[in-house]
Amino acid sequence: MAPEFLRPSRSPLGNINVSFEFFPPKTAEMEASLWDSITRLAPLEPSFVSVTYGAGGSTRERTHSTVARIVRETALKPAAHLTCVAATREEVDDVVRAYKAAGVRHIVALRGDPVSGPGGAFEPHPGGYATSTALVAGIRRLGDFEVTVSAYPEKHPESATLDADIDVLKAKVDAGATRAVTQFFFDNAHYLRYVDRVRARGIHIPIVPGIVPVQNFKQTASFAKRTGASVPQWLADRFEGLDHDPATRRLIAAAVAAEQVLDLVDHGVSDFHFYTMNKADLVYAICHLLGLRTHLTERAA
Ligand code: FAD
């Protein structure tokens, strides 16, 4: 460990880039809360904000309308998630064209999970894009899009080995992917080792760590299980006994996320993608620790 004064996270941080992920709201109330979060986080000037596409393609219209509103009403650069699930190539291409017409220039291209959710067997739609690699190539054919793809530091649950998984990442890059965002992880060693292996495989796009602030430990642990992300015992221990103490849980969540991102900074990481769950406070605080400031904050001070 470097002496305290040599640790990058202890110095003023000027080179940090963040991006935020949101999901499309289902109700008017959820929409209001999403927009409160977007409004709070926007002054941090993220590189982009992304909007997910529900499992089984279930949120096509809601994803589109959220992204279109971001284009209309903010200066943020939106990225629309898109999957291959339950749609023909023509239908997917139409979605891409609609994004292009709405001024969107960045797509997060995924194979997607079956309608039943993560863990179920994926069946390509007859006449649809069969793989994320084919989708990336299809998007690039339709326009000059930035294309972000997924990456799995602990491998995707369906993948036989981490090397097989990295082969898929290489294929996606060869098809035109320009950035990867990782599945969330809690042990930074997984990410750091993964990036070493990816670079050794000749992949040079940014591999941006996906950070999930733990708003609810039980929910996060159950989601992690389905997506192949390991939950270390030390993390469970930190949230132990707090099921009925949301105030302390939030403080612990902030401490855990701060520890994770500042350790990554000390390992030279400068770009972070936050899974916001449409909630701003925790992410805002972590960005503050990362040295990001807004005019609003300066005025308030
Ligand atoms: P790919 O990169 O295509 O594949 C992942 C790995 O699975 C590959 O490396 C490969 O080894 C293995 N694999 C895939 N198919 C097979 C097979 N048939 N046999 C053996 N191995 C196989 N899901 C959504 O529905 N909507 C979203 O908006 C969304 N956003 C996401 C954002 C990020 C940053 C991440 C990391 C995931 C997201 N997901 C989303 C989840 C994703 O759709 C699932 O993890 C899905 O199971 C795989 O899609 P992919 O594009 O990540 O897979």
Closest to 85 in 3D by CA, of 49, 62, 59: 59
For the CA of 118, the closest atom of ligand 1 is 47
Cα 250 to averaged position of ligand 1 atoms, centre (Å): 30
Pairing of strands 179-182, 210-211: unpaired
Cα 157 to averaged position of ligand 1 atoms, centre (Å): 9
pLDDT higher than threshold 60 for residue 299: no
Cα 164 to averaged position of ligand 1 atoms, centre (Å): 13
Number of C-beta neighbours around residue 234 at 10 A: 10
User: Are residues 39 and 76 in contact, defined by beta-carbon separation less than 8 angstroms?
Assistant: no
* Residue in the block written with tokens 């997910």: 52
Read off the pLDDT of each residue in 51-76 and give the average, rounded to a whole number.
90
For the CA of 85, the closest atom of ligand 1 is 25
Residue nearest to atom 53 of ligand 1 (CA): 111
Handedness of CA 83, 84, 87, 93 (dihedral sign): positive
Read off the pLDDT of each residue in 95-106 and give the average, rounded to a whole number.
96
Q: What digits encode the pLDDT tens for the residues 13-36?
A: 888 999 999 999 999 999 999 999
Q: Is 148 in the pocket of ligand 1 (CB under 6 A)?
A: no
Q: Is 154 in the pocket of ligand 1 (CB under 6 A)?
A: no
Catalytic residue numbers read 21
Q: What angle do CA 270, 161, 164 make, to 5 degrees?
A: 75
Read off the pLDDT of each residue in 83-96 and give the average, rounded to a whole number.
95
Query: For residue 249, which amino acid is it?
Result: R
CA dihedral 114, 28, 63, 50 (to 10 degrees): -100
Q: Determine the Cα–Cα distance for residues 210 and 219; give it in Å rounded to an integer.
A: 17
Q: Determine the distance from the C-alpha atom of residue 237 to the mean position of all C-alpha atoms in its chain, rounded to a whole number.
A: 25
Distance between the two ends of the chain, CA-based, in angstroms?
A: 35
pLDDT higher than threshold 70 for residue 89: yes
264 Cβ partners below 8 Å, 6+ apart?
188, 191, 209, 272
Residue nearest to atom 17 of ligand 1 (CA): 158
Q: Is 220 in the pocket of ligand 1 (CB under 6 A)?
A: no
Q: Determine the Cα–Cα distance for residues 272 and 181; give it in Å rounded to an integer.
A: 9
Q: Is 134 in the pocket of ligand 1 (CB under 6 A)?
A: no
Q: Which of 150, 190, 212 to mutate to test the pocket of ligand 1 (most atoms within 8 A of CB)?
A: 150
Number of C-beta neighbours around residue 27 at 10 A: 8
Read off the pLDDT of each residue in 258-264 and give the average, rounded to a whole number.
96
User: Are residues 46 and 76 in contact, defined by beta-carbon separation less than 8 angstroms?
Assistant: yes
Q: What is the mean pLDDT of the chain?
A: 93
Q: Which of 53, 106, 110 to mutate to test the pocket of ligand 1 (most atoms within 8 A of CB)?
A: 110
At residue 2 the predicted structure's pLDDT band, cuts being 50, 70 and 90, is low
Q: What digits encode the pLDDT tens for the residues 196-241?
A: 999 999 999 999 999 999 988 999 999 999 898 999 999 999 999 9
Runs of H (alpha helix) within the chain: 28-41, 60-73, 89-101, 132-142, 162-174, 188-200, 217-227, 233-239, 246-266, 281-289, 295-300
For the CA of 23, the closest atom of ligand 1 is 28
Q: Is 209 in the pocket of ligand 1 (CB under 6 A)?
A: no
| 106-110 β-sheet, strand order | 207-208, 179-182, 146-151, 106-110, 78-83, 48-51, 17-22, 271-275, 210-211
User: Are residues 113 and 122 in contact, defined by beta-carbon separation less than 8 angstroms?
Assistant: yes
For each of the domains in the chain, give its residue range(s) and CATH number, in order of start: 4-291 (3.20.20.220)
Q: Is 210 in the pocket of ligand 1 (CB under 6 A)?
A: yes
Q: Determine the Cα–Cα distance for residues 41 and 276; give it in Å rounded to an integer.
A: 10
Q: Determine the Cα–Cα distance for residues 275 and 268; give it in Å rounded to an integer.
A: 21
For the CA of 150, the closest atom of ligand 1 is 36
Helix, strand, coil share of the chain (percent; to 5): 50, 15, 40
Pairing of strands 78-83, 48-51: parallel
At residue 47 the predicted structure's pLDDT band, cuts being 50, 70 and 90, is very high
Residue nearest to atom 39 of ligand 1 (CA): 112
Number of C-beta neighbours around residue 165 at 10 A: 22
pLDDT higher than threshold 50 for residue 85: yes
DSSP 297: H
